[in-house]
């Protein structure tokens, strides 16, 4: 019998891999499944980005190993984007590193800053990777509860001083997955102040920074004075440009963090295909605001169709100002997993039980706006009929 590493037993199976298998099994049975489970955009990557990839893929030099830190063209495009979008000036050679998707960078920054018995401050509920990678690195996740009454923002003053002194890393994520909550610059000022006080690297997962509605526009943590001393932001092209399968993102921020991340990465991977990086540079450079605005208008219509429709059916929930997720309290205070299974069996609509994202997710389910509006309206009709039956 093979003896696997004990670290593997410390973490659960990745929930979305299991959800994907369940979806495939249901489809094979002929179920007319409407999956609101995974945040994978259903719209295509823009033609002008695909065309750039084709052009760049025909250049023989791009077929060789890429630069470890990322191509100069891509890193410059990220720096230009940060200046244009946030008014933040970063040096592409020292403050920016290309990633094979932001998930890779988030995982590796933990290995660069967390070792045995170090504390990593992790939101709850949250993207499961923060917790899992902390455990794999031998660290101790300290859960920062995100509660509705606090706007789903952690309260730094509630973190015990002895815990903060043991912490080497903290994760934030706004607009937030799974809650859809948003943060203002004052919150990030408090986060940077906390990081500087205790010598903690503040990692901001900015995967949804461009997905905002109703006049709200998300800030970057790097807009805060002094943030470049203690903060690292993880930007992804996956969601704003429908490029989840391309695996391209960037770490931007503290030089010390970028250097440490580079040591892990250069000993682990060989970087992203240069042609993909250059296509990403084109995405960031060619009037991205117009395309992103078009996508946000679409997601807003889907959000309104879902929330308004279910509210009319008696299931009350709030409209998020960011991300493409709706974080809905389970009607009647039922168990999240049981309610999600009930919906699936009765309606063929798949949602994600809140505890997938942590203990504080109990009592909620997450719904992703990644199917077209007609199918969302169909899902609303099915769930609405079921809700009326169970009243």
The residue segments making up the domain with residue 378 are 13-42+289-390
pLDDT tens digit sequence for 244-260: 999 999 999 999 999 99
Residue 126 maps to a domain: yes
Q: Note whether 171 and 219 are same-domain residues.
A: yes
**Per-residue model confidence as pLDDT tens digits over 127-140:** 999 999 999 999 99
Q: Are residues 92 and 230 in the same domain?
A: yes
The β-bridge partners of 273 are: none
This prediction's pTM: 0.96
Average pLDDT over all residues of the chain: 95
The alpha carbon torsion through 362, 368, 369, 370 (nearest 10 deg) reads -170
Per-residue pLDDT tens for 42-86? Answer: 999 999 999 999 999 999 999 999 999 999 999 999 999 999 999
Q: How many domains does the chain have?
A: 2
Burial 176-200 (b: 16+ CB within 10 A, else e): bbbbbbbbeeebbbbbbebbeebeb
One domain for residues 36 and 55:
no
Give the pLDDT mean for 101-127: 97
pLDDT attached to residue 14: 67
Judgement on whether residues 310 and 162 belong to the same structural domain of the protein: no
Question: What does the block give as tokens for 265?
Answer: 């990465």
- Does the pLDDT at position 21 exceed 90? no
243: CATH:
3.40.640.10
Q: Pick from 258, 286, 314: which residue ends a domain?
A: 286
Query: For the segment 317-334, what is each residue's pLDDT rounded down to a tens digit?
Result: 999 999 999 999 999 888
């Amino acid at each position: 019998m093979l003896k696997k590493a004990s670290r593997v037993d410390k973490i659960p199976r990745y929930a979305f891999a299991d959800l994907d298998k369940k979806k495939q099994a249901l489809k094979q049975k002929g179920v007319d499944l409407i999956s609101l489970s995974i945040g994978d955009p259903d719209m295509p990557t823009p033609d002008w980005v695909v065309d750039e990839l084709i052009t760049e893929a025909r250049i023989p030099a791009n077929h060789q190993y890429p630069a470890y830190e990322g191509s100069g063209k891509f890193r410059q495009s990220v720096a230009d984007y940060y200046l244009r979008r946030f008014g933040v000036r970063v040096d592409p050679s020292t403050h920016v590193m290309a990633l094979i998707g932001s998930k890779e960078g988030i995982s590796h920054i933990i290995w660069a800053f967390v070792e045995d018995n170090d504390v990593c401050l992790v939101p709850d509920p949250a993207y499961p990777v923060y917790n899992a990678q902390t455990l794999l690195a031998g660290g101790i996740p300290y859960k920062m509860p995100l509660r509705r009454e606090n706007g789903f923002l952690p309260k730094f003053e509630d973190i015990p001083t002895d815990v903060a002194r043991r912490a080497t890393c903290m994760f934030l994520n706004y607009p937030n997955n799974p809650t859809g909550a948003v943060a203002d610059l004052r919150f990030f000022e408090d986060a940077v102040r906390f990081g500087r006080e205790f010598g903690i690297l503040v990692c901001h997962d900015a995967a949804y920074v461009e997905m905002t509605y109703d006049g709200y526009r998300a800030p970057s943590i790097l807009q805060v004075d002094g943030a470049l001393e203690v903060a690292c932001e993880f930007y992804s092209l996956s969601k704003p440009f429908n490029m989840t399968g391309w695996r391209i993102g960037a770490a931007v921020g503290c030089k010390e963090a970028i250097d440490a991340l580079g040591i892990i990465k250069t000993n682990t991977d060989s970087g992203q295909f240069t042609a993909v990086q250059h296509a990403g540079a084109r995405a960031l450079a060619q009037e991205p605001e117009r395309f992103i605005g078009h996508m946000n208008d679409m997601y807003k219509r889907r959000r309104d169709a879902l929330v308004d429709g279910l509210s009319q059916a008696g299931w009350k929930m709030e409209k998020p100002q960011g991300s493409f997720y709706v974080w809905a309290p389970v009607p009647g205070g039922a168990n999240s997993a049981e309610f999600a299974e009930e919906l699936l069996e009765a309606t063929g609509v798949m949602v994600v039980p809140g505890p997938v994202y942590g203990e504080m997710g109990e009592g909620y389910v997450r719904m992703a706006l990644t199917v077209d509006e007609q199918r969302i309206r169909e899902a609303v009709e099915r769930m609405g009929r079921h809700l009326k039956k169970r009243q």
